[in-house]
Amino acid sequence: MRSVIAIAGAFVALCICVFLALFVGAAHIAANDILWALTHPSSQSVDARIIWEVRLPRICIGLLVGSALGIGGALLQTLLCNPLVDPYITGVSAGAGVAIAIGIVCGIALPWIPAMGFAAGILAAIAVVALSSRAGRIDTQRMILAGLFVSSFLSAVVTIILTRMEPNGATNAIIAWMAGTLSGHGWNEFNWSLPYAALGLALAICALPALNVMRLGEQRADSLGVAVTQTQWLVVASAALLTSSAVALSGMIGFVGLLSPHIARRAVGGDVRSLMPFAALVGAAIVTIADVAARTLAPPGELPIGALIALLGVPAFFFIVLRAGPERARVSAPSPHSVRGRTQLRGKEIA
Amino acid sequence: MTAMLDVRDLRYTADSACLLESANFTAHAGSLTAIIGPNGAGKTTLLRAVAGLLPVHGTVRINGDLTAKMPGKERAQRLAFVAADDTSTDDALTVREVVAQGRYAHRRNAFDRSPIHDRVIDAALNDAQLHDLQHRRLSTLSSGQRRLAWIALGLAQETDVLLLDEPTANLDMHHAQRTLRLMRRLADAGKTVLAVLHDLNEAAQCADMVALIDRARLVAFGPPSEILTSERIARHYGVRVDIVTATDGKPRIFACV
């Protein structure tokens, strides 16, 4: 019951963020004009066009990106039993980064760039999974390492591309993508990404019951009847699809995938049936409200939303997670009673 | 008694080392079998091999059905394995949430909230004397209490065969005795219970059969009075013991210091 109330509360908060995003923008539009425009989508008035061709697609993209990153983070943190994991550990963002940088350098037409980023993100995720697999099963510890290695390698490629280019519009486009932005995309890009995100969500829902049992550890899940390997692949495929969809649309928006599951875990506990929807709502709300801030804090230009979220996300992360302490923070940090915790504590004593 | 668990030629090799050599035994319905042996002998390996958690050679049958051919969920409905360690567990889980996962193989879907699941979970918590602690986070419990939570998880699976790895480790005398009585009660109710025990007196006290393992080999299998002899203990544990028969007719073992 508590979870249902919390999820309903998060939904209301998200609705408020969406209304705010709808009402705030460079052009001032009165509330009754906005409501009129919403009910008359085919109207050719300037207000209706701004609402339907600028603000609404941008809000929908923000909702998709935020919820995809929130769900991806919740899935991977649960699967890997590690609260410090975010969806980019799959290598998706770095893979997409390389493709987008190469695409921009080679002068590939802009509409193809998100698709290239999506495909390269999926390829990078496959490389990470291949490096972390043993006998068909994903070694969760190796996956974190493989994700770091692949991401570092691909980020280095992007850096080299940037340093070898003359400063011009192309470099600015790559930097803007790396900083994250919701501008410049419309319904076409949204409609292109939506099916992949929906497929990722469907895979996540399939994995839900088994993923809950995986919180007891792989061996116990195995003995409780969970198809561990199948669940791992489902979760990683789902996270990769969700993250790729988000990255292709918005570039690299950090911290949402890390922070949303933490907030969700504190509100509704670790049960993924509640954790996932709550993390999706929190992620969507964070991106939506951050986009409002990015659009309005430094007019007439825009702040990069990824950098803005990171700026606000770091203190928020400290406040919500670290300040709460090991007992109140509902994360799977090793306790002094667990074998993992005892080993670490013993290490500290020896040191 | 019916042969519930039949193990034939069970072998396990890892990194070219033989960790379990051709184990053969039969455990009957309503029996409690204690698996004993020195540290590193292969007791847990045998239990995990029987549970289907290792890529083994040989066969394990439950009531005549090969476990290797069972889907994971069916196997979990018929055989429960309670591991001794608790690594890689989400510390945010409460005791009740842990025990509830034992119903995974029985639930129709992720949102199946049939009252029968709650009844079974309550019964398992009561049997493990954890009802008062059910809303506590697992990480805040003592190691002995966590051990009881894992046992309750196994009970919530409602299986015919229950495999327990060191169920009395880290438990005080009171809880150890209650756990042994619980194991006995489960066996008397018709379940087949196999438990790795380090305390030979516990094995003598509650087991119908004893399986002695040494150096990856099942060296003896039989009633406690036949297996727990001073010669055998000296040979396999390297300890001289005195064995007396207590008033309940069961052997009591005292190490000679």
Residues A90-133: pLDDT tens digits?
888 888 888 888 888 887 876 777 788 888 888 998 999 899 88
Residues β-bridged to residue B218: B213
CATH assignment of the domain containing A142: 1.10.3470.10
- In chain A, which residue's Cα lies nearest the Cα of B145? A337
Distances (CA, A) of A43 to A51, A78, A186: 11, 46, 18
Of B244 and A179, more confident: B244
The span from the CA of A349 to the CA of A145, in Å, is: 27
Cα Rg, chain A, nearest whole Å: 21
Question: Would you say the C-alpha torsion B174, B176, B181, B182 has a positive or negative sign?
Answer: positive
Our count of domains for chain B comes to 1
When scoring A78, A137, A141, A220 by the number of chain B Cβ atoms within 10 A, the one with the most, hence best to mutate, is: A220
Six token digits for residue B58:
């040989």
CB B135 within 8 A of CB B167: no
Cα-Cα-Cα-Cα dihedral sign, residues B119, B122, B126, B128: positive
How far is residue B257's CA from residue B252's CA, in Å, rounded to a whole number? Answer: 16
CATH of the domain at B97: 3.40.50.300
Query: pLDDT of A231-266, one tens digit each?
Result: 998 998 999 899 988 988 888 888 899 999 999 988
Q: Are the Cβ atoms of B83 and A220 closer than 8 angstroms?
A: yes
- Measured CA to CA, the distance from residue A33 to residue A19 in angstroms comes to 14
Position A349 scores a pLDDT of: 35
Q: Are B83 and B165 in contact (CB under 8 A)?
A: yes
- When pLDDT is cut at 50, 70 and 90, the band that residue A324 belongs to is low
How many Cβ atoms sit within 10 Å of the Cβ of residue A111?
10
- Return d(Cα B57, Cα B42) in angstroms, integer: 16
Neighbours of A301 (CB within 10 A): 8
Residues of B in contact with A333 (CB under 8 A): 91
- Dump pLDDT digits (tens) for A71-94: 999 999 998 888 888 888 888 888
Instruction: Write out the two tokens for B210.
Output: 């004893």
Q: A166: domain range?
A: 2-350
Q: B164 to chain A: which residues are within 8 Å by CB?
A: none
Label each residue of A217-267 as H, E or C. Answer: CHHHHHHCCCCHHHHHHHHHHHHHHHHHHHHHHHCCCCCHHHHHHHHHHHH
Number of domains into which chain A is organized? 1
Stretch 166-225 of chain A: residues touching chain B, C-beta under 8 Å: 208-210, 212-213, 215-220, 222-225
Of A212, A219, A269, nearest to B53 by CB-CB distance is A219
Domain of residue B98, residue span = 3-255
Is 60 exceeded by the pLDDT of residue B208?
yes
Degrees to nearest 5, angle at CA A119 with A147 and A187 = 120
Residue A158 burial by Cβ neighbours in a 10 Å radius (0-12, 13-18, 19+)? buried
The predicted structure's pLDDT at residue A348: 37
B144: Cβ contacts below 8 Å, ≥ 6 apart: B170, B171, B172, B175
Q: Which residues of B touch A202 (CB under 8 A)?
A: none
Burial B36-67 (b: 16+ CB within 10 A, else e): bbbeebbbbbbbbbbbbbbebebebbbeeeeb
A235-264 per-residue burial string, b: 16 or more CB within 10 A, e: under 16: bbbbbbbbbbbbbbbbbbbbbbbbbbbbbb
pLDDT at B84: 83
Residue with tokens 């493989």: A146
Are the Cβ atoms of A215 and B111 closer than 8 angstroms? no
Tens-place pLDDT, residues A289-321: 999 998 888 777 788 888 888 888 788 777 766
The helix/strand/coil state of B158 is coil
Query: Does the bond joining A261 to the residue before it have cis omega, within 30 degrees of 0?
Result: no
User: Which token pair is B88?
Assistant: 């890689």
